[in-house]
Structure formats: C-alpha cells, structure tokens
Structure 1
Amino acid sequence: MASDMTASGPVPAKEGVVVTSNFHESEEKNQARVDSHDASDTEEPHEDFPWTWKTVALCCGVALSFGSSFAENILGPLKSTLIKELDINNAQYGAISSATSLVNTVLPIIGGYGLDYYGVEWGSMTCSIFIFIGAIVSAAGSNQDTFSLVLAGRIIMGFGSTVIETCTSKILAHWFQHRGLGFVYGLDLSIGKLIVLIAKATAIPMRDASSFWGWSLWIPAIVCFANLLQNMFYFWWARSRPEWTHMPTGQKAKGLEKKRLREQANNQVITDTASVTSRASWTSYIPDWRVLTRVPRFFWLVVCTQILQAGVVGGFNGLNADIIRLTRGSTEQIAGYTSAVQQVIPVICAPLVGAYFDFFGHRMLFVSLTSAIWILVYCLIGFSKVNALGGMVIASFASAMNALPFIASIPLMVPNQTELGLVFGIWKAFNNCASVIVDMIAGKLQDITPGGTYERVIAFFVAVKGLEFCLGLFYGLLDRKYLGGILTLSEMKRLVLEREGKTELHIGQKPGKPFTIVGLSMLLSLVIIAWVLFIMFSI
C-alpha cells in the first residue's frame, strides 16, 4: 500500500501508526492504482459496444462541426465581396479569414485537456454555444458593413470551432476503441469535405439571392443554430447510456483516488490525515497540468516539424477561387464552382484511404505522396494556363489524403485515451498558429507583388510542401526505429500483437523532457508570432 511506504521503504511506527514522509510519491502510487483498477469499478467488462450505439455516436460525432465548417468555408468565394463591401485590403481579409484560428493558437490545448478531464459532452455544448453566438455577431456585421463586427464574430466563433473538432476525434476514438479508426476518421473527413463543397458552391448564390449580400453570412448562422440543437440531442443520448459506456475522464480518476484515500483513512491511522484529505479534495477539482510532461516524444517530433504544412493547405483552399478568377478571367460564380470541385473526390476517397490504413498501414508514406501532388497542383494553378478544373480535380485527391495520415496516427502514438484530447489540442494549436501566419504572409506577399497577383504566394506554398515531401520519408524511418513500425502496420497485424502481449510501449511513445521543452517553446514562439502578425494587419 502507498501509505505503508516512505521514500526509502516502509518505516515501522508505534501500534499501526504509519508515517508517510513523501506524500507526492504516495499520491502517484495511488493514481497508478486508480488507473489499474478503473476497469474493475465498472459494472462488467465489455469488449465492444453495440453497433446501434456506435452508429448513433458516429452520426452525432461527425455532425458536431457542421455549422462551424459551413460558416468558415463560406468566406473564400466571398473574398472580393468582403473587400468591396467592408472597404478593406487583402491583408485585412486575411485577418477575417484567420480570425477563428487566432484564438485557437492556445485554446485547443486548454479545451482538449478540459475534454479529457471533465468530459466531451459538456465541452461540445460549450463549443456549440460559442459558435452560434459568433456566427450571429459576424452576420450582424454585414447589416452595418462593419469590418470590426464581422471580425469580432469570427473571433468569438473561434472559441468553439476547433475544440469541437477534438470532440469528434475523442468520440470516435472512444466508441470505436481504436478499431476501424482509419475508416471512421476518413468518413468524418469525407463528410467535412462535403460541407465545404456545399459552402463554396452556395456562397455566391446566397449573396445574389437578394439585394442584401449579408444573407451569405446569415444562412450559415441559422445552420449553426440547427447544429446546436443536434448537439443537445447527443448530450442527452450519451449521458443516458449505461455507466460502463461513459468515456473515462481525469476527474473520475481523481474521484476514485479520493475515495481510496478516504477508505485508507478509515482503516488506518495516517499522520496528518486532514492534510491528505484536503489535498485530495483540491486535486479532484483542479486539473493537473503536469500531464503536458507525459506527451510522447514522437508526437512532439511530428508536430514541431509540421509547423506550416496545414496552414499552406488551408491558405490555398481559401484563396483558390480568387486565384482562378485572376489567372483565368473567370467570373466569381464560375471560380467558386471550379474551386468547389476540390471537395468532390475526398467525399468518396477519404473513407477509402482510411480503410487502406486499417487494412494495409503505410500511413507516413502518404505524407510524401500528398506533398508531391500538392506541388503539382500549385504549379498548374499558379504558373500555367491549363484548365483550372483539371488542377482542382488533382487537388481533390491531395485533399482526400492530406490530414488523414496524421489524424489516424495520433491515437497510435498516444495510446492513453485520457490524454488524447490534450494531444489533439496541441496538434490543432500548432495548425492554427500556422494558419494565421500563412494567411498573413500570403496576404502581404500578394499586396507587395506588382499587379496584386499570386506568383510569390504560390512559390512560397511550393517551397513549404517540398520540405514536407522529405519529412514524410523521414517519419517512416523513425517509425520503424522508435515506434516498432506501428504506423506502418495494418490494424489486423497490430491486433495480433496485442493478443500475443507484444504491444509494450516503445521509446517513441514515452515522454522525453528535451522534446517537451522544445515543443512547448516552439508553440509559445508561434503563438507570439501569430498574434503579432494578426494585430499588425488587422488594426
């Protein structure tokens, strides 16, 4: 028992009184005991959930971010409209485009850990409320043609738009228990692309439906309200399931720890029992941010070397309609339809790519393959006069494979589900910092280019993706050396290893202090850069 040990071993005391010289060691041992006995405190062990429940969880999980995704992706085809109606320049449009990402330079980490500690249901409801309020404020700005109000609404929306994606990731990882995750994550990406397709294709028709251009912002606000109602249903449904189906949380683990400490206090005389009980009470409500030191080193390596990659893809997705309009002389509506083609193939291909990961593996190989396709797309759209439709069809294949290798790999890098929200939050924080920085750089590069063209912007995109091509090969080598090849293995081979008891933690799945220090320092630097650039170009 933890209370029978000191820092150097058991110390005899008079008549059953035990002196504990190091409470922190005792607390850590109690926490380990909580983790090891957590399954036994449930009603009965269950290997899997009923498919009816998994289907409901899948439908509700992938639908959580419909409203925010629709509202965010409506902006690309409306760039020239916003510049004209709000009387702003390209850099200020970049501020609007990246506003939802700005607050998510730090918030995903806090929100992700909050999901781990307090539970997904409460977190998703909070996110949906912020998204709805932000959409209303932003839409109200269109009535006044006010840049600051539109910008403020996007910032408010940002308090929920990224964290709610982490909710989806945790919900799918819980209900599918790391089985078939590639497919369900691919399906989530597929449906997300369908929402983006609808948003891009309907942006201009919504603007032109009446003399008031603001309907293109008010209709997404209505969608966000419908999404809030759907989230209420999931909250009720998930909380009404039996206790054994509920997602494990840090708060529940702390509650079990407090219970065991109380039982020990009743059975034994512990020195300074009141102090122990008091400390347990505080720790059951206050999150323990030391969990940051338990983030695996391989995850830090990946996230720190992927700094601008997601930002480049997001920047191109937001600008491709305007690039097509300038380089091909298309109308805004035709350019919007052409750019929307990029979202078509991922609707079909993303689940197939995810299923490929489940059946065959080779996740990191797709990182280099996707980068090569993006480089081809940027060159075709930005430096040639070929039909833009062909370029966007090729881009759609890259979109189907872009983020999925990483999303499907993170639960394998970080097998502890009570840390999954945190690491997804860190991943999204890095990506959102990159989105802000890339949007600002792209806007500035366009403003300083003669004629306001996109040649320098495209050259920047090509350079960044050229680096990622090399990184994908590098990740594959490190996977075999430091992760035992789990990112390369198929799901069937991994499950065989689990049944044979050969799934011990590899060095890449363990924390490392230098990796943690470098990762947190880099994240802090990116947050500062993102905020400085945002303030410079939005005021």
Structure 2
Amino acid sequence: MAAQSLDEPTLRYSSPAFSGEHETRLQSEKDKESDNHQPDPSLPLRKPKLPLGWRITILVLTCLASFGNHWSNGLITALKTTIIKELKINNSQFATVVACTNLVNTFLCIIFGFCIDKWGGPLLTVVMASFHFGGSVIMAGSATNNFNNYPVLIVGKVIAAIGDGSLDNSQHRIFSTYFARGGGFAFSIGAIWGVANLAQFTGQSTANIIATNLGTYAWALWISAIIALFSVICAVSVYFLDRWLMVKYEVTDHTDGTTMKGHLRRGVFSMKAIKELPVTYWIVLMFTAFENAGIQSFVSISTQFAQQRLKKGAVIAGWVSSFYLLLPACLTPVVGLLIDVYGQRVSVLLASGLVFLVSMLLLKFSHSVPTFVAAYVFYAFATCLTAAPQVEIIRSIITDPQWFATAFAIKKSVIQASAVIITTAAGKLQDDTPNASLDSAVTLWLIYAFICTGIALVLWIIADWFPNVLPSARLAQVRPSKLEENVTRMLRAKRGLMQPTVDAHSVNDLDVEGMSSDSDSTNEEKKLLADEKMLKSVEPGKVMNRLRWVFPAASGGVIAIGWIVFGLGIEWGLGGKISASGTGD
C-alpha cells in the first residue's frame, strides 16, 4: 500500500495531462512576467549615442562651408594692379575696397555674436555663407562685359564682408557643441583653419593666372562665386543634418553638458554676457589685439617687402610671401590635437608671441636673403600657433561656454580695429620714407611683437606660479584628463576663502534637477561645468569685479580709434596699404 501510495502521485505528476497543464501554467506566468517588464509608454525611449562617424561628417561639411570665403580672401589684393587699371581708380579708392571687411566687422561681429549664441551655429552658418555668395556674385558682375563699375564693386565687397566676418564664429559655435575640450574641439578648429589656409593660398596664387589666360579678371571673380555657391550648399547640408541628428540620436551639447534639443536660447541678448567675462579673458584679448592684429596685418606688406628685400618681381615675391599659408595648413590640425591631449594653452600663446618676436627681429636687424627667408619661416610658425589655440583658450577661460560666440566676436572686433591702426600708421611711415622703404614700418610690427610677448609672459607666470589668482588661466594650462581633479582642488581652496552663503542660482544655470534623466557621463559633464563656473566667477566686492566695465569700455575705445585712424588714412591717401583681413582670427 505504501508503495502504491507513493507511485500514484508520481504517476499523476508524470502523466501527459498534468504535464500539459503545468506547461500552460508556466507559460502564463512567463507572459505575465514579460508584461510586467514592458517599458512604460509614458516614459521616453533613450536614443542611441551620436556615432563618431556623424561627428566627422559635421566636421567636414562645416569646414567646406567656409571654403569659398577663404578662397576669395586674397583675390582682391592679388588683382590690385589689374583692378586699379580697369576701374581707373586711385590707390585711396582701392584702399576703401580692401579695408571695408575690417571696418564693417568692428561692430557687426559683436551683433552677430549675440545672434549666434541665441540661434545656434548651423542657422547662422547658412546666413553668413549666403551673404558671402551674394556679395561674390555682385563683385563678379561689376567686372563682367567691361562693366567695371567701382560703386558696384564696393557694394559687393561690403555684402560679402558681412558674411565673412562672422562665418568662422558660427562654425566655431558648431564645433563647441559637438566636440568637448580635450575631446576633439581644438583639433576641429585646427582642421578648419588648415582648410582655410589651403583655400586662400589656392585662390590667391591662381587669381592672376586665371585673369591672364582667360582675358579678364572677371573670370577669377566668377570662379570664386561658384565656389562660394558650393560652400552655401555645404552650409545648408550642415543645417539639415544637425536637425536630423537631434531627432535620431542623443546629442550632448558640450557647452552646457545637456542633451541637445535645439539651438534657441533665452536671455542671450543681455549685457550680462559681457559683464561676466573673467579677467583672464580680457588679458587674452589684450594679447590678441597686438599678436593677431600684427600677424594678420603683416600680410598687407609681405609681398612688397619681399620685393624690396629679394629684389625680385611681383610674381616671385608673391609666391614667397604666400608660403606662410602652406605651413599652417599642415601643422594647425596637429597643434590642435596636441592641445586636446596636453592642454598648455597659455604656454602656446607665449610660444606664438616669442616666434612672432623672433620673426620681426630678423626682419628689422638683418638684410641678408637667408635671414629674410628664415624670418618668413618663423612668421609661418607664428601663424600656426595663432588660430586654433586662441579659439580654444577663449572657450576654456570664459565663465559660461554658452557665451562663446559673443566672447569670440568681441575679440575679433578689437583685432580688426587694431589691424586698421597698425596698417594705417605703417603706410604713413612708408610714405614719409625715401624710396617708400618698408624698413621703418617694420618697427611697428616689432613693437606689437614685444608687447604681446610681454602680456603672454605675465599671464603664463600667473597661471603656473599663482594658480589661485586667475583660476581660468590655470585651468587653461592643465591636461583635459586632469581637469576635474584640478577643478575640485581649486574649488575647495576657493570655498575656504568665500563666505558661507553662495548664490548658487546665479552661479549655476545648468538644470541640476534634470540630471537624473541623462546618462551618467552627461551628468558628470554637467557637474564639472557647474563647478568650473563657480570657480571662475568673481566674488562680490573684489576690485576686479568693480572694474569689469572698464575692460569693455577700453575695447570700445580701440574700435573707435580704428575708425578715426582709417579716416586719417583716407585723407593721407595711403593707397592699398590697408589690407583686408586674412585667415587669422
């Protein structure tokens, strides 16, 4: 009986009827468990991270969006003799043509900087590229079928200048969104300026060849307009690709560490953006007002100076003076990559100032041909160390990266004004020198080189030896991989000196409440940006805080002086000695 009682349950559990019933019950439980694990339709699905391939695509298209702009940069100055002859104008009238880019952008850059920060880089890239294309068509039309109309050429140049002045700013804003500091941002800036130098070298070196072989300089302008149209197409592609990527992928905006949902920002049109710029920014601005303006404006005399020193014709001198464009085309991306890895941005500023100083010393105090060539090589190296590092350091030192375009625009406006001042003064010195020698004019560039090197040396000493005096400068020096560690240590030291009450709302606008909805890496980036912002902010009561409006006022004074000196230059009849900007920032 016992055996039978034990066997009956065994037989019952092993029977086909129970087996089918048991499997049905297990499947029902699995289905119920699966239903419990289904995602809540009310919760948003997380998008995949943005692949590297799409970031590279954005980089390439953005670089090409300014190819036409930089192609045309050297056209007018390269065609100077032909334009004066065909339009029957004098040197002062030609100076007005080539200087309008500098003057227009002394104030428009700041306005467009606010616009770029508010509406984003992709949209403004399309707008700026379109302005340049429209101006290029008008300039080409002014020379077509022997029309040769000077006022129309001026109109075209002014319209093109509106786009030229802020196109690079809008592109930098795109890169600051898609690439983090130490994560490709400096390399992207180096890449775009490498392409820019190649484009300008090609356009400048082929302008007279095209005009000679095709019988009219109008063809050189029309080819430039066609390339400008290609750049507009690339800019439009960037705009629509950017919108599609925001829908398809989770795109992190590296200016604030949040997931990007759009480019429109509130509260950008505010003087607070200028007031909150740290002291380090204004010191860097002083440096660029001498170093950038000096390097950029030297282009206006480089060909003529080569003719005088080498005693060669304009063609050979033009090729020699254009050499400075080739070296940066290759080395600027490498410099950007090194900054991404090692930091040391202030050290790079000092190096660029020193190399520029050596170049001007060689030109001033030696008249041999080998020394002259060496001076131009040093000048080319100084150009390599100018564009990418300075764009990168501006982003690194400002309190809020979302004000990057505004900060960059102020810097560029001051540089344009300073370039007008030095080129006009140099032209006056040349006119007062027997045989129109440029030897005395080089003294001005030497003075600029000494001043910028001195400023960079002081900033470097403070950044490395007195890190708590200018935290922004110190953080610009550290390796990106060590940034969080340095921010934490310096913030602890600062909090030990601050009052217990800190207005966190005014210091941190980074939507801390929304951090949990983002990935851990995104939240870490938000926290790092918030800590940096607090570290770079000036405590109420500090002397520099009270004087923060002095720096913008001084910058405005430089711009005003630039306009006044330009007017004097027209009165003096300086001719073509005032040059439009090159590829420098």
Q: Normalised by the shorter chain, which TM-score bucket? A: 0.7 to 0.9
Give the letter for the 1:175 counterpart.
Y
Please, which moves more after superposition, 502-511 or 389-398? Answer: 502-511
Contact 1:101/1:436 (<8 A) preserved? yes
Contact 1:73/1:200 (<8 A) preserved? yes
Unaligned runs of 5+ in 1: 1-41, 257-282
The offset of 1:534, in angstroms, is 3.1
RMSD (Å) for aligned C-alpha atoms? 3.2
> Any idea what SS the aligned residue of 2:379 has?
helix
**Counterpart pick for 1:157 among 136, 157, 160:** 160
Contact 1:77/1:203 (<8 A) preserved? yes
Alignment of 1:491-502 (within 5 A): 491-497=480-486
- Tell me if 1:482 matches 2:485: no
Match of 2:341 in 1: 359
The offset of 1:515, in angstroms, is 4.5
Could you report, residue by residue, the CA deviation over 1:423-469 in whole angstroms, capped at 9, with x for unpaired residues? 11111111222222233233333333222221222111111101111
**Counterpart pick for 2:325 among 343, 359, 371:** 343
**Counterpart pick for 1:509 among 536, 550, 564:** 536
Q: Distance in 2 between matches of 1:343 and 1:297?
A: 33
Match of 2:119 in 1: 118
Question: Structure 1 pair 487/249, CA: closer, same or farther in 2 (3 Å)?
Answer: closer
The offset of 1:490, in angstroms, is 1.5
Contact 2:130/2:232 (<8 A) preserved? yes
Match of 1:49 in 2: 50
Contact 2:176/2:254 (<8 A) preserved? no
Match of 2:443 in 1: 459
Match of 1:176 in 2: 179
The offset of 1:124, in angstroms, is 1.3
Contact 1:132/1:224 (<8 A) preserved? yes
Match of 1:23 in 2: none
Q: Distance in 1 between matches of 2:267 and 2:551?
A: 27
Question: Structure 1 pair 146/455, CA: closer, same or farther in 2 (3 Å)?
Answer: farther
Match of 2:502 in 1: none
Give the letter for the 2:314 counterpart.
E
Question: Structure 1 pair 188/284, CA: closer, same or farther in 2 (3 Å)?
Answer: closer
The offset of 1:345, in angstroms, is 1.7
Match of 2:109 in 1: 108
Match of 2:301 in 1: 319
> Identity of paired residues, percent?
20
The offset of 1:513, in angstroms, is 4.3
Give the letter for the 1:240 counterpart.
W
The offset of 1:109, in angstroms, is 1.5
Question: Structure 1 pair 138/295, CA: closer, same or farther in 2 (3 Å)?
Answer: same
Please, which moves more after superposition, 102-111 or 502-511? Answer: 502-511
Give the letter for the 2:383 counterpart.
S
Q: Distance in 1 between matches of 2:383 and 2:373?
A: 15
Q: Distance in 2 between matches of 1:173 and 1:48?
A: 18
**Counterpart pick for 1:188 among 187, 192, 204:** 192
Q: Distance in 2 between matches of 1:496 and 1:206?
A: 56
> Any idea what SS the aligned residue of 2:217 has?
coil
Alignment of 1:438-449 (within 5 A): 438-449=422-433
Contact 1:409/1:487 (<8 A) preserved? yes
Contact 1:371/1:469 (<8 A) preserved? yes
Could you report, residue by residue, the CA deviation over 1:183-212 in whole angstroms, capped at 9, with x for unpaired residues? 222222222221222123212212222221
Q: Distance in 2 between matches of 1:169 and 1:196?
A: 19
The offset of 1:224, in angstroms, is 1.1
The offset of 1:46, in angstroms, is 8.4
Please, which moves more after superposition, 83-92 or 110-119? Answer: 83-92
* Number of residue pairs the alignment of both structures matches: 470
Question: Structure 1 pair 181/329, CA: closer, same or farther in 2 (3 Å)?
Answer: same
Q: Distance in 2 between matches of 1:43 and 1:322?
A: 64
The offset of 1:404, in angstroms, is 2.9
Match of 1:301 in 2: 283
> Any idea what SS the aligned residue of 2:127 has?
helix
The offset of 1:146, in angstroms, is 4.0
Q: Distance in 1 between matches of 2:149 and 2:432?
A: 26
> Any idea what SS the aligned residue of 2:476 has?
coil
Give the letter for the 1:419 counterpart.
W
> Any idea what SS the aligned residue of 2:477 has?
coil
Contact 2:421/2:562 (<8 A) preserved? yes
Alignment of 1:53-452 (within 5 A): 53-88=54-89, 90-143=91-144, 144-178=147-181, 179-243=183-247, 244-245=250-251, 287-381=269-363, 384-387=367-370, 389-414=373-398, 416-452=400-436
Contact 1:298/1:508 (<8 A) preserved? no
Match of 1:7 in 2: none
Q: Distance in 1 between matches of 2:239 and 2:303?
A: 38
Q: Distance in 2 between matches of 1:248 and 1:358?
A: 14
The offset of 1:303, in angstroms, is 1.0
Q: Distance in 1 between matches of 2:142 and 2:569?
A: 19
Q: Distance in 2 between matches of 1:305 and 1:515?
A: 19
Please, which moves more after superposition, 465-474 or 451-460? Answer: 451-460
Q: Distance in 2 between matches of 1:152 and 1:451?
A: 35
TM-score, length-normalised on structure 1? 0.78
Q: Distance in 2 between matches of 1:113 and 1:132?
A: 23
> Any idea what SS the aligned residue of 1:306 has?
helix
Q: Distance in 2 between matches of 1:209 and 1:223?
A: 19
The offset of 1:318, in angstroms, is 3.1
Q: Distance in 2 between matches of 1:442 and 1:199?
A: 26
Q: Distance in 2 between matches of 1:81 and 1:304?
A: 38
Give the letter for the 2:470 counterpart.
Y
Q: Distance in 2 between matches of 1:420 and 1:345?
A: 28
Q: Distance in 2 between matches of 1:501 and 1:302?
A: 21
Could you report, residue by residue, the CA deviation over 1:516-537 in whole angstroms, capped at 9, with x for unpaired residues? 3122212221222222333444
Please, which moves more after superposition, 372-381 or 202-211? Answer: 372-381
Q: Distance in 2 between matches of 1:235 and 1:468?
A: 38
Contact 1:130/1:156 (<8 A) preserved? yes
Could you report, residue by residue, the CA deviation over 1:340-369 in whole angstroms, capped at 9, with x for unpaired residues? 211122122112222222222322223232
Contact 1:183/1:352 (<8 A) preserved? yes
Give the letter for the 1:328 counterpart.
L
Q: Distance in 2 between matches of 1:125 and 1:94?
A: 29
Q: Distance in 1 between matches of 2:569 and 2:362?
A: 30
Match of 1:3 in 2: none
Please, which moves more after superposition, 187-196 or 73-82? Answer: 73-82
Give the letter for the 2:410 counterpart.
I
Question: Structure 1 pair 321/286, CA: closer, same or farther in 2 (3 Å)?
Answer: closer
Question: Structure 1 pair 415/176, CA: closer, same or farther in 2 (3 Å)?
Answer: farther
Contact 2:339/2:345 (<8 A) preserved? yes
Give the letter for the 2:333 counterpart.
P
Unaligned runs of 5+ in 2: 1-42, 492-527, 539-543, 572-585
Contact 1:119/1:247 (<8 A) preserved? no
Q: Distance in 2 between matches of 1:381 and 1:146?
A: 39
Question: Structure 1 pair 522/396, CA: closer, same or farther in 2 (3 Å)?
Answer: same
Contact 2:122/2:174 (<8 A) preserved? no
Could you report, residue by residue, the CA deviation over 1:48-95 in whole angstroms, capped at 9, with x for unpaired residues? 631012111111222222111111122343344444444455554443
Contact 1:482/1:507 (<8 A) preserved? no
> Any idea what SS the aligned residue of 1:516 has?
coil
Match of 1:472 in 2: 456
